A and B are shown apart, each in its own frame.
Chain A
Amino acid sequence: MADPILEVISLTKCFGAIAASDGLTFSVKRGTIHGLIGPNGAGKSTAIAQLSGELQSDTGRVRFDGQDVTRWAVDKRARSGLQRSYQITSLLPEFTAEDNVAMAIQSQQGHSFRFWENARKDNSLRTPSRKILERVGLSDFADNPAMDLAHGQQRQLELAMVLATAPSMLLLDEPMAGMGQSESLRMMELLRPLKGDVTMLLVEHDMDVVFALADMITVLVKGQVLLTGTPDEIKNHPEVRRAYLGDY
C-alpha cells in the first residue's frame, strides 16, 4: 500500500503576474492522511482546485490512481474517485439533507438518463442515504432543506455527500472551517476511521487537527513547496516556524 495514489509534478497556475502555484511537486501515499498547510495566500485552495480539475493548470501534471488526469474535467475526475469538499459550504440548498446525500449516491449508479421512476421513492438511493446521515449524526434532520441546517450541520452534510460517493481519495478544503470545538471534534471522529480506506489530502488552518490526523504534511509558502515531512519533522523545522511567525 505504499504506492502513491496521487502524484503532483511541477504544477503551476498563474493569475496575471502572480504565481498562485509555482512548480508544486509532491505525492500522496495510498491510504494515508496528507496534510497541506501554509500561511494565508500560500496557494492551498488553488492547489486543491487544480487537483479537482476546477482550475486548469498552466503547466505540470497530475497523476491519480495510475492515470494522467491533467486534462480531465471535474466530473470525470470525480467519477474516477477523486472527490472534494469546499471551504465555503456547497450544497444543493433547496433539497432536503436526504436528497443531497441521495444525489451523491445517484452519481455513482451510472447515468441518470432515467426519466420515469420517482427518484425519491427509489430504495437503492434512499436506504444508503439514511445510513450515511445516521453515520454523520444527521438522522433527525433528514427532511430539512439543506439551507435550513445550522452551519456545523451543513459541514457534516457536505462530508456525508462526499462519503456517499465512496471515493478513493478526498480533497478536504478546511472541513472544520467555522466550526465550534465540539463540532470539530465530531468531524475528527468521522474522518479518523476512514484512514486506510480513503486517502485524504487535508487542508486545515487548525494545526492541532492536522498534527493529530496527518501521516505526512506538505508545507506551502507563496505557491511553492517548502518541505514535506512527518508531523514531528514539520513541528520542529525552523523554516516552518519562521514561515508561520512571518519573520522573513
Chain B
Amino acid sequence: MFLSKIIGSDASFRTKIVTLLGLLILFAVPLLANLFNEPFLVDIASRILIYALVAVSLDLILGYGGMVSFGHGAFLGLGAYVVGILTHHSYEGTAVAFLPGDWQGTTQAFVQWPLAMILSGLLALIIGALSLRTSGVYFIMITLAFAQMLYFFMISIPTYGGEDGLNIWERSEIPLLDLYDAKSFYFICLVLLLLCLWCCSRIVKSRFGMVLRGCRQNEVRMKALGYPVYRYKLMAFVLSGMIAGLAGALLANHTEFVGPGLMHWTRSGEIMIMVILGGMGSLIGPVLGSATLLMMEEVLAGLTEHWMIFLGPMLVLIVLFARKGLYGLLIGKGTDNG
C-alpha cells in the first residue's frame, strides 16, 4: 500500500500514528463543524461513535473470540428500549409495566444507562448460555433467531409503541451537563468510547483475553489444556452484550426515538459489516468501519437511494484482499498480536 510506504514499515509505530491521528480527528470534529458552519457534522459524528461502540463490542467476541453473533441488534435494541421505556413513564407519570410496585421511571442517566448495561448483560447471559452450546453455522442461526424473537416481541407490545416505536420526549439527564447540546453529547459519546477501548485493550491482553483468543484459534486444544472454554466464552458474550446495551442507551438519546427496527437482523448485519470492513481482531478497526459505513451512507445516500450498490463490491474487495479490513491496510502485517 502506498500509504504504508510513507509512514514506514514498523507495525507498532504505525499503530501509534494511526491511533494518534484518529484521536486528533475525533477531538477536532466539533472545531471543524464550527469552522465550516456545519453543526450537522457533530450529529453524524456522534452517531459514528455510538455505532463504533457496538462494533467494538461485537468485535470483542467476533474478532477475538471467534463467535459469529448475528444477533447483536438485540442488545443494542434492549439498551435503547430501557432508556425509552423509563423516559416514557417518567414523562407520562405512569408506572413501569410488568413490574411490581409503581416505579414511574426516571430520566437520570446514572440510573438509565447502568440499567441498560445490566439488562443487556442479563439478556446476553441467557442467549449466550443457550447458543454457546452450539458452534459454527448453528451459533449464527441461534443468535439470529433470538434477536428476531425479541424484535417480534417488541412489535407485539402496544404499551411501548409496538411497530411504531416510542418517541423519547426528554433526553437523559446528567448533572451539570446538557445532553441537548450537540457538542456535550458528542464528547460524552467520545469519552465513553475511549473508556471502552481502553478497557477492551486491557482485557484482550489479559489472561482472560489470551484464553478468549486461544479459543478462536483452536478450541479443541484449549479444552485439552484444561480450559473450560464455555465459561470464558459466555463471560465474553456477556461483556459484549453490556457494551452494546450502553451503546443502545446512547443511541436512544441521539435519535430521541426507539423502535423495534434496532433489533431487526438487518441492523445486526450492519454492525457485522462495520467490524469486517474495519478489521476484525483489532480495536481500532471497528471504529474505522463504523465511520466508513456511516459516512458512505451519508454521502452516497444523497446521490442514490441504492447506495448499497457501492457498499457490496467494496465489501467483497475488502474480504478478498484485506482480511484485516481497513485497519489492516493502514497497519500492514503484524496486527494480530497487538
Write the residues of chain A forming the contact surface with B, with a CB cutoff of 8 angstroms.
52, 54, 73-76, 78-79, 83-84, 86, 90-96, 99, 102-104, 106-108, 112-120, 122, 145, 161, 165
- Cβ B229 vs Cβ A119 within 8 A: no
| Cβ contacts under 8 Å, A90 to chain B | 218, 220-221, 224
- Cβ B218 vs Cβ A92 within 8 A: yes
Q: What is the interface of chain B mostly: helix, strand, loop, or mixed? A: helix
Additional pairs, 4, CB under 8 Å, beyond known A92-B222, A102-B210, A106-B210: A75-B223, A94-B213, A114-B208, A118-B205
A73 and B227 alpha carbons, distance in the complex (Å): 11
- Cβ B221 vs Cβ A115 within 8 A: no
A84 and B224 alpha carbons, distance in the complex (Å): 7
CB closest residue in chain A, given B210: A119
Partner of A83, one of B203, B205, B224, B336: B224
- Cβ A107 vs Cβ B225 within 8 A: yes
| Cβ contacts under 8 Å, B209 to chain A | 115, 119
CB closest residue in chain A, given B232: A112
Interface flags, B198-225, vs A, CB<8A=1, else 0: 0000110111111101100110111111
- Cβ A92 vs Cβ B217 within 8 A: yes
Number of A-B contacts (CB under 8 A): 103
Rounded to whole Å, the gap between the CB of A149 and the closest CB of chain B is 15
Beyond A112-B207, A113-B208, is A91–B218 a contact (Cβ under 8 Å)?
yes
- Cβ A75 vs Cβ B229 within 8 A: yes
B179 within 8 A of A: no
- Cβ B336 vs Cβ A94 within 8 A: yes
A93 and B337 alpha carbons, distance in the complex (Å): 12
Write the residues of chain B forming the contact surface with A, with a CB cutoff of 8 angstroms.
202-203, 205-211, 213-214, 217-218, 220-229, 232, 235, 336-337
| Cβ contacts under 8 Å, B229 to chain A | 75
| Cβ contacts under 8 Å, B225 to chain A | 75, 78, 83, 103-104, 107, 161, 165
A106 and B206 alpha carbons, distance in the complex (Å): 11
CB closest residue in chain B, given A96: B337
A82 and B222 alpha carbons, distance in the complex (Å): 14
CB closest residue in chain B, given A77: B226
- Cβ B206 vs Cβ A78 within 8 A: no
Beyond A75-B227, A119-B205, is A112–B217 a contact (Cβ under 8 Å)?
no
Partner of A74, one of B205, B217, B223, B232: B223
Rounded to whole Å, the gap between the CB of A104 and the closest CB of chain B is 6
A122 and B208 alpha carbons, distance in the complex (Å): 13
- Cβ A114 vs Cβ B206 within 8 A: yes
| Cβ contacts under 8 Å, A165 to chain B | 225-226
- Cβ B217 vs Cβ A118 within 8 A: no
- Cβ A107 vs Cβ B227 within 8 A: yes
| Cβ contacts under 8 Å, A76 to chain B | 226, 228
| Cβ contacts under 8 Å, B223 to chain A | 54, 73-75, 78
CB closest residue in chain A, given B215: A92
- Cβ B206 vs Cβ A116 within 8 A: yes
Beyond A112-B227, A112-B232, A116-B202, is A106–B207 a contact (Cβ under 8 Å)?
yes
Q: List 13 A-B contacts (CB under 8 A).
A: A79-B226, A86-B221, A94-B337, A103-B210, A107-B226, A113-B235, A114-B206, A115-B202, A115-B208, A116-B203, A117-B206, A120-B205, A122-B207
| Cβ contacts under 8 Å, B218 to chain A | 90-93
| Cβ contacts under 8 Å, A116 to chain B | 202-203, 206
A124 and B26 alpha carbons, distance in the complex (Å): 39
Rounded to whole Å, the gap between the CB of A73 and the closest CB of chain B is 8
Rounded to whole Å, the gap between the CB of A110 and the closest CB of chain B is 10
A83 and B223 alpha carbons, distance in the complex (Å): 10
Partner of B206, one of A75, A92, A119, A145: A119
| Cβ contacts under 8 Å, B208 to chain A | 112-115
